[in-house]
Amino acid sequence: MSTATSDTPTNTFVRCDGILRPGNTNCAGCGMSLGLQFLEQGLDGEKPTLCIPACCGIVTAGQFPTSAYGVPTVATTFASSPAVATGVSVVRRLNQEPNPTVCWTGDGGTYDIGMATLSAAAERNEDIIYVCYDNEIYGNTGGQRSSATPLGVRTTTTAAGKTERKKDIMGIMAAHRVPYAATLSVAHRDDFLRKIRTARRTRGFRFLLLLSPCPTGWKSEPTESVDLIRAAVGCGLFPIYEVFDGVRYRINIRPDGTPLAEYLDGQRRYHSKTIDRDEIRAEIRAQWAFLEGMEKAFPAGKDEGNPA
């Protein structure tokens, strides 16, 4: 247990507003922290209920009797957050309480252990905003691989580089025909906030995915967290787009010629012979061919969502 230092009196409790309060134990430069700030900004003061499974997000809360979350928050078991959120959101609906129910989950809980629960909640079109902050590892337990870890990346359980590709969670969510699915960038605040607002106005299961910079897991500088995501978006590795009803696509930000190196060089996890940059570039091209094709064949309507 952490022993208090003498200048941190643990017997004074101060209430204050906001979803994520200062004094939380997240690492400096944590993408999830920034995501929570943007969530708050995008909800325009409305308080959600948070359902957070075992992940960094719930450790953020800190230790009882204090909590870094300023809104009602349920710590769920690892696989259960969409199920717990279902229960909360149903009762909210029965009692006409408009506040949104938000699952705030890491990639481990989304792509892996919670996949079945996620699929079921999506299939039932539960009235939940599901946000996955994806740092591409099991960050909370020290950096083991998840199915969100990209190909070739070394983690504590893939010393020779991961031999499988990153799972296409957006494709999976689209296949569930959820009303709204979108990728979010912590380097593109205005787009991020717009999508929170779009999600807020949509009914049914909404899936939001953000690539969450993790200085500890990625071995990058905290100060570069936002710029790394900007590079990820700019080089096309993390496309920013929306999918409506699982079939209509809208690309929000296209690659701008940023070199892949600008994203990879800043993270020691990518400094490895197991990484094949040409392979990554080929993947990016293939990914964009698909997205461009989908947008062309099944474009979103001009007024869908909340276009800028």
Partner 1 sequence: MIELTIYGRGGRGGVTLAKLIATTYFLRGKHVQAFGVYGAERSGAPIQAYMRADDEEITNHNQIQEPDHVIVVEQTLLGPHVLSGLKPDGWIIINTHEAPESFAESLPGRRVATVDANAIAVAHGLGTKTVPIVNTALLGAAGKLLELEFADVEAALAEMKFGGANVTVAREAYDAVVGQRLAGKAQPSKQRAANGPVVGILDEEVGGMPVIRTGTWASRRPSRHELMPACNDGCPAGNDVRGFVQAVAQRKDYDAALAIILKTSPFPGICGRVCPAPCMEACNRRAHDEPVNVRDIERYISDHAVWPQPTRPTRNERVAVVGSGPAGLSATYHLARLGYHVTLLEAGDEIGGVMRTGIPSYRLPRHVLDHEISFILRHGVEAKTRQHVDRAALLKLTNEYAAVFVATGLQELRSLNLGNLAADMVMQGIDFLDQARRGHVHLTGQRVVVLGGGNTAMDAARTALRVGARNVRVVYRRTRAEMPAIAEEIDEALEERIQLDELVAPLRLHNNATGTVLTCQRMKLGEPDESGRRRPVPLESEDAIFEIECDKVLLALGQSGDLSILPEGSDVRHGEQLLGLTAAPVFAGGDFATNAGTVTAAIGSGRRAALHIHKTLTDEDLFPPPPAPVAGPEAIRMHVFSHQPREKPAIIPAEVRRGSFTEVRLGLIDEPGHEAAYEEALRCFSCGVCNECDRCLTYCPEGVMLHDGDCRYSFNFDYCKGCGICASQCPRGVVFMQEL
Partner 2 sequence: MARTLVTGNHAAGAALALAGEANRDARGCCAGAYPITPQTEIIEYLRAFNFTKGHIVPVESEHSAMGVCIGAALAGARSFTASSSNGLAYMNENVFAAGYYRLPIVMIAVNRTLGPPWNIWVDQGDSLSLRDAAWTQFYCESHQDLVDTILVAFRMSEDHRVLLPALVAEDGFILSHTQMAVDIPAQDLVEKYLPKLNLPHQLDFEHAATVGGLTWPRETEKHRREIQSAMENVPAVLNEALDEFAAVFGRRPDGAFTAEYTEDAETVLVACNTMARTLRRVVKDRRERGEKVGMVKVKLFRPFLRDAFIHAIGSAKRVGVLDRNHSPGSGGIFWGEIATTLRQRPDVLLQDYLVGLGGGDVTPQIIEEILDDLKQRKQAEEPVWKEVAA
Asked if 10 touches partner 1 (CB under 8 A), the answer is: yes
- Count of CB atoms situated within 10 Å of the CB of 230: 20
d(CA 127, CA 131): 13
Kindly compute the dihedral angle of the four CA atoms of residues 72, 76, 78, 83, in this order, to the nearest 10 degrees: -100
Task: Collapse the DSSP code of 132 into the 3-class scheme (helix H, G, I; strand E, B; otherwise coil) and give the result.
Answer: strand
159 binds, among partner 2, partner 1, none (CB under 5 to 8 A by kind): partner 2
**Judged by CB under 8 A, does residue 113 bind partner 2?**
yes
Q: Report the nearest approach of partner 2 to the CB of residue 15 (Å).
A: 20
Closest separation in Å from C-beta 155 to partner 2: 9
Nearest-angstrom CA–CA distance, 106 and 94: 29
Least gap, CB of 42 to partner 1 (angstroms): 11
Name which of residues 260 to 279 contact partner 2 (CB under 8 A).
none
Is residue 307 at the binding interface for partner 1, with CB under 8 A as the rule?
no
Instruction: Pick from 47, 59, 87, 115 the residue near partner 1 by CB under 8 A.
Output: 59
For residue 24, the SS3 value is: coil
SS3 89: helix
Distance between CA atoms of 1 and 113, rounded to whole angstroms? 27
Contact between 215 and partner 1 by CB under 8 A: the answer reads: yes
Q: In the range 221-240, which residues lie near partner 1 by CB under 8 A?
A: 221-227, 230, 234
Binds partner 2 (CB under 8 A): choice among 66, 147, 274, 306: 147
Min dist. Cβ of residue 62 to partner 1 (A)? 4
C-alpha closest to that of 179 among 108, 130, 238, 212: 130
Report the Cα–Cα distance between both ends of the chain, in Å, rounded.
Answer: 48
In the complex, least distance from residue 174 CB atom to partner 1, rounded to whole angstroms: 29
- Of 190 and 303, which CB lies nearer to partner 1 in the complex structure? 190
CA-CA distance, 76 to 55, in Å (whole number)?
10
138 binds partner 2 (CB under 8 A): yes
The only residue of 124, 167, 177, 189 in contact with partner 1, by rule CB under 8 A: 189
Stretch of 15-23, 57-65, 267-275, 284-292 contacting partner 2, by CB under 8 A:
57-65
- Separation CA 275–CA 280 (nearest Å): 8
Asked if residue 144 binds partner 1 (CB under 8 A), the reply is no
Distance in Å, CB of 115 to partner 2, minimum: 7
What is the spatial distance between Cα 66 and Cα 277, in angstroms, rounded to a whole number? Answer: 45
How many Cα neighbours within 13 Å face the side chain of 209? Answer: 28
115 binds, among partner 1, partner 2, none (CB under 5 to 8 A by kind): partner 2
67 binds partner 1 per the rule CB under 8 A: yes
DSSP-assigned beta bridge partners for residue 158: 155
Binding partner of residue 67 among partner 2, partner 1, none, CB cut-off 5 to 8 Å per kind? partner 1
Residues 285-304 that bind partner 2 (CB under 8 A): none
Residues 11-40 that bind partner 1 (CB under 8 A): 11-16, 18, 20-31, 33-34, 37-38, 40
Distances (CA, A) of 238 to 22, 196, 288, 306: 29, 18, 10, 21
Token reading at 4: 């208090």
Distance (Å) of CA 76 to CA 64, 84, 123: 15, 7, 20
Q: Please give the residue ranges that form the binding site for partner 1 (CB under 8 A).
A: 1-16, 18, 20-31, 33-34, 37-38, 40-41, 56, 59, 62-68, 70, 189, 215-216, 221-227, 230, 234
